[in-house]
Chain A
Amino acid sequence: MIKVDNLKKQFGNEEILKGITTTFEKGKTNLIIGQSGSGKSVMLKCLIGLFKPEQGRIYYDDNAIQDMDEEQQRVLREEIGMLFQGGALFDSMTIEDNVMFPLRMFTKQKRAEMLERVNEVLNRVELDGVNKKYPAEISGGMQKRVSIARAIVNKPKYLFCDEPNSGLDPKTATVIDNLIQRITHENDITTIVVTHDMNSVMEIGERINFLKNGVLVWKGTQEDIFKTDNKDVTDFVYSSDLFKKIRDVQNKTN
């Protein structure tokens, strides 16, 4: 579980996060949604320690990251898996070496053991037989799956995903979404997904946090989001014609 208490972040005079308090539950896919510029990616980067917030506290299972020394933060980061928007695979390494990287850095396993684990996670993300290829030789969707494999290879307790579907076709996007959710449930980890994709909300939005201009304006579940009267949320959800039509059909049915 990850708790955030009164999180504030600003760049220069511009306040990006204006005192966010929320909880991300263990064993659930927790979504942070909102329009572009709402502060969701900044919030994610504060959570993983790439940005230092001006104010507020972040608790990883009741341990505040602000109270940890550098070594404790480093150890914590070994328990974090991160799926970046662009995959962030190391282009000079093969897929196998990319996935093996966290194991080489943080474990004392022998190469054969590491290879076994790499093949296991590559199989888990349905990517057998690409071990010796380089990131540039595989598709965007495959790169995302390799990135997921790298994120989970060292059995993290926390998984962060930044716009996992950006640049993917709807079918591949659904595959990635379902994969993230399955991994979350199977390993009982705390997963946080930043997205503005309503399809992801539909697919995996077990707990949803809606941000607008750096403020958490709504929290709820997948079911709640279609029932809420919150205007900011309804404006966002029904900005898509598809969802407008679904709402109209539902209204007629009722």
Chain B
Amino acid sequence: MPAEESYPEDLRYHRDHDWVRVDGDEAVFGITWHAQDALGEVVYFEPPAVGAQITGDGSYGSLESVKAVSDVIAPLSGTVTAVNDRVVESPELVNEDPYGDGWLVRVKLDDLGAVEGLLDAAAYRALL
């Protein structure tokens, strides 16, 4: 079942429709409800390697729906410490629970302070 539209207040957002949840000195990345809705049913997640260095505003992997391929944009720079293997196995989790079980990667951020430069839920919603 697709999720209901929502943009949780406790997350930070990137204009390319990605979210960040800060967890200690690491962060979890995923795509927003709006992004998964635009993509349609996600059928494939190509993740980065654990240990890969990813760069803010750059692509760190791809999500594919039946019809389209979409790069996933890193909201911030850092080193990948974990990949959500459940999404690799069951990509539809991105549609069903984009802010929970549908998370994509866990990243050790280069600069924890950079989170403050991202959008809050209200500012992100205003872009939609």
- Chains A and B come from one and the same complex: no
- Measured CB to CB, the residues of A under 8 A from B are none
Measured CB to CB, the residues of B under 8 A from A are none
